Amino acid sequence: MATIEAQPIPRSEQWRDYRRAAGAWLIGPGLWIIIGAFMVWAVFAERDAFVVGVVAGSIFALGALGLTLIYGVLKFGHFAHGDMMMLSGYLAFLFLSGFIVGEKPGDQLTILPVTVNDLPGADDPIWKFSFGYGLWVAMILAGAAMAVILVGLDRFVYRRLRVRKSGIVIFSIAALGIAIATRATILFFWGPSPRLYYPGIRERVDLPFDVSLLADQLFILATALVATAVVYWLLFYTRLGKAMRAMSDNPDLARVSGINTDRIILQTWIVAGALIAVAGVLLSLQVQLDPELGFILLLPLFASAILGGLGNPVGALVGGLIVGITQEVAVTLDLPLLGDVSAGYKFSVAFLILILILLVRPNGLFGAKV
Amino acid sequence: MSESIAPARPVALETQDMTTGYGEVNILHGVSTRVHEGEMVAIIGPNGAGKSTLLRAIFGLLPAREGTVHLHGDNVTGQRPDALVPKGLGYVPQVDNVFPSLTIMENLEMGAFVRRNGLAERADQVFRLFPDLAGRRGEVAGRLSGGQRQMLALARALMLDPSVLLLDEPSASLSPKMVGMIFERIKEINDGGTAILLVEQNAREALSVCHRAYVLAMGENRLEGAAQDLLDSEEVGRLYLGA
């Protein structure tokens, strides 16, 4: 009787099966386990960097939230987002101090007759912060100005492209052009050297669990939290927010339902303007006012938004935090062969995350939209 | 279900000599249709006859190159959906007709976007027509089955209690059992007084519930008449019903 011998599986096929299994694990639960393990490790091993990362991440999350809202409603990558954040930081600076640079180095040209700092007690530091209530006033004014600017840009640029039914690439290149023009505007009015809202000593605060933060960073975290909560309330509990989500889901059906999509687009720009201003002022407070910063910021912003899935507001928040924490923790690492990772590599970490997520899960951590 | 009562009523929606198309090509060449108040009218015809294009042109999604659309006697040619919806015209597209990441209740809210009050009461009325949806109002629409989605699409369009409803292939890609159920619901909607103009590939099913029908071919009116007469007609049977 002939016996049937088991055919040995060729080695190449065996490897291919292993690779497939590993790939499936990596794009499935593995990704979450790796991220979770990294976060838990970072909390214990690199607590200071982790906390700074949460602060940076909360700013990224605000930026990515605006990016994702604009993508959802208008369906294009808003490449001017980082520079608009920086511009709103400078606008807040203008409302506070009232001056722009003059012709000669060191010159100051006062262009506002009344500034926020003229208000009584506006720059008296509150609690342990480096600023007074003036910064809040300036932030609100910057938000209003940014809303006007973005609505104006929509009228003169994006709406014309919509009428012509231009493709997504044309929109994004237009946004890139606006980004460059915005940066040039900042350089023209405020010069290339970085600035601070309030020079002076920044106080630290000690928190439980061996955490120590600048008081200003605590303010950044709290403000980002409140702003995020307001955006979620807007998106899930108001007529406007639901219409924005509906447009993000299915713009044609939104139009067919009788929703005035042009008006929703304008209102989206207004919301985005407010978000950009809050994120921009917080960023300027955390780092400094720097004309180049906006462009550099695009990378972590897009990495955050894509990590969370473009158009997904909850994802933007998670993505922002992951990118922020990873960036800060990564540059404290002492890697074998490579040695210390210099702080200058911070933004290449965002780039790495962006490449990895596009390779492994191009629709973001939360997968495709339902 | 006879023709005799219909023409006595005033005209709700009238299209005259509609000519339109995409790019350089005209798809419709002077199509005229008429729907009386409370009437249910089908547009049938082979693939590419321009049936869906006609609905899109009526609803202002495609500019009319020639011809007019009148709604309750008013000329509404070329008006945008956000102007037509408040005037009582509703439209259910063939595909992608729900908001997948919104809940069922939010989908209905979007259907009533142009009206701010009375939302809850109207939703309750609509849910009475679609009891399947009532128990799941907090669920995300993307998780619904094909038939339930079609129900939700109808429910969304009913939120403003339109006087005329345009339905683009409501039975497309549904199982035979669901097709019957959807047509039952459409019949109920019509019994409630809403005039319906529906485009159907599924001609036999459509003719069995509608009062009248138009047969379109090559972007032109080919035949029209009472639904029963068309069902009985040899020519229609041979050409469009596969009998």
pLDDT digits (tens, 9 = 90+) for B212-221: 999 888 888 8
Nearest to B110 among A242, A252, A370 (CB): A242
pLDDT at A281: 95
Q: For residue range A47-56, what is the model confidence (pLDDT) as tens digits?
A: 888 989 999 9
Residue A2 pLDDT greater than 70, yes or no: no
pLDDT of the residue at A368: 52
Quick check: A256 and B61 CB within 8 A?
yes
Higher pLDDT, B235 or B148: B148
Angstroms from B95 CA to nearest CA on chain A: 10
pLDDT class for A362, splitting at 50, 70, 90? confident
Say how far apart CA B235 and CA A211 lie, in whole Å.
84
At A308, the pLDDT band (50, 70, 90 cuts) reads: confident
- Segment A24-35 mean pLDDT: 81
> Stretch A118-122: mean pLDDT, rounded?
82
**A252 vs B96, B142, B156: nearest CB:** B96
Which chain A residues are closer than 8 Å to B85 by Cβ? 257-258
Which of A147-151, A272-276, B131-135 has the least mean pLDDT? B131-135
User: What was the pLDDT predicted at A170?
Assistant: 94
* pLDDT tier at A1, thresholds 50, 70, 90: low
* A367–chain B Cβ distance below 8 A for any pair: no
Name the amino acid, one letter, at B12: A
**A:B CB pairs within 8 Å:** 72
Q: Is the pLDDT of residue B101 over 60?
A: yes
Poorest-pLDDT segment among A132-136, A170-174, B106-110? A132-136
CA-based nearest residue to A132, from A285, A343, A6, A240: A285
| Residue in chain B nearest A261 by alpha carbon | B82
Is the pLDDT assigned to residue B2 strictly greater than 50? Answer: no
Please say whether the beta carbons of B78 and B63 come within 8 A.
yes
Closest C-alpha among A155, A159, A149 to residue A74: A159
Task: Give the C-alpha separation, B57 to B236, whole Å.
Answer: 26
Give this complex's ipTM.
0.88
Establish how many alpha carbons lie within 13 A of residue A92's alpha carbon, considering only the half-sphere containing its beta carbon: 34
Q: List the single residue in B with minimal CA-CA distance to A247.
A: B99
Is residue B63 within 8 A of residue B43, CB to CB? The reply is no
Q: Which residues pair with A289 in a beta bridge?
A: A195
State how far the Cα of A323 lies from the Cα of A300, in Å rounded to an integer. Answer: 7
Angle, helix B176-191 to helix B146-158, in steps of 10 degrees: 10
Q: What is the value of pTM for the model shown?
A: 0.88
Alpha helices, DSSP H, located in A165-292: 168-190, 215-237, 239-249, 251-256, 261-286
